[in-house]
Amino acid sequence: MSRLGGKVALVTGGAAGIGRAIVERFVAEGASVVVGDIDEDGLASLASERVAVSRCDVTSEADQAALVRLAGDRFGGLDIGVANAGVGWATKVLDHELSDWQRVIDISLTGVFLTYKHAGRAITVRGGGSLVAMASLNAVQAGRGMAAYCAAKGGVKMLTEVTALELGEAGVRVNAIAPGLVRTTLTDPMWLMPGLVDQHLDNAPLGRWSEPSEIAGVVAFLVSDDASFITGTLQLIDGGCHLNRYPNLFASIPGAAGEPKEHTT
């Protein structure tokens, strides 16, 4: 495939999981890719002639700016930016530590803002292109214990809409994706919580979870010319789970009032 032939893309959180699947799909479709992550071993395993890597903490404006510069230095510019990095923290509102709340907002929302800001500037200079952010089913569906995550992902939805309004005249399309349950090494702990995955499957009309490659396929479509008239949208990729209710996370955690549980996207 060469749908993205000659394009240069940037992907944050691209060393593993959905991010890695996006990188691999972009390369398969002809793009060169700059990948940022804090997982240095994962980055090293991706590096190649068409994949440049750099350690990037998405909460650091300097790191995000450096990632964009790398795209220019290595491949001559930037056409596509994917803000994929995110983290969640499952704690009830009344028990939520401010530091945990801030960590989720900083990574999952402010990190997207910084990617939009710096990648968006470079893409505008290039004459147009595409930005995509990782939102979640939780951008539109609330879940117990998911206050910070839901707030961050809902924020990503609105940030995407505002950025699409502002960059449309520059030829930059901006969209967000909203996966449901995806099986990755980062979500494997969910399979250890009694009944949690079963709740997800009961809520999904298609009766299954998704694979990272399915999410990557939608992202590749959104950044391609096949989606040339799509901007400002939230693309649900959840097997229809938004039609039902979100699982009760705390029913699957022994001692629900105990230690908070972190999960990464």
Catalytic residue list = 149
3-state secondary structure 72-89: HHHHCCCCEEEECCCEEE
Contact criterion met (CB below 8 Å) for 96 and 147:
yes
Are 56 and 33 in contact by the 8 Å Cβ rule? The answer is no
3-class SS shares of the chain: helix, strand, coil, % to 5: 50, 20, 30
Q: Are 93 and 100 in contact (CB under 8 A)?
A: no
Q: What DSSP letter does each residue of 186-224 carry, written as one string?
A: TTGGGGGSTTHHHHHHHH-TT-S-B-HHHHHHHHHHHHS
Asked if residue 199 lies in contact with residue 247, where contact means CB atoms within 8 angstroms, the answer is yes
Residue type, 184: T
Distances (CA, A) of 152 to 72, 158, 159, 245: 30, 10, 10, 19
By three-state DSSP, how is residue 185 classified?
Answer: coil
Q: How far is CA 147 from the centre of its chain?
A: 18
33 and 47 in contact (C-beta within 8 Å)?
no
Q: What is the DSSP letter of 146?
A: B
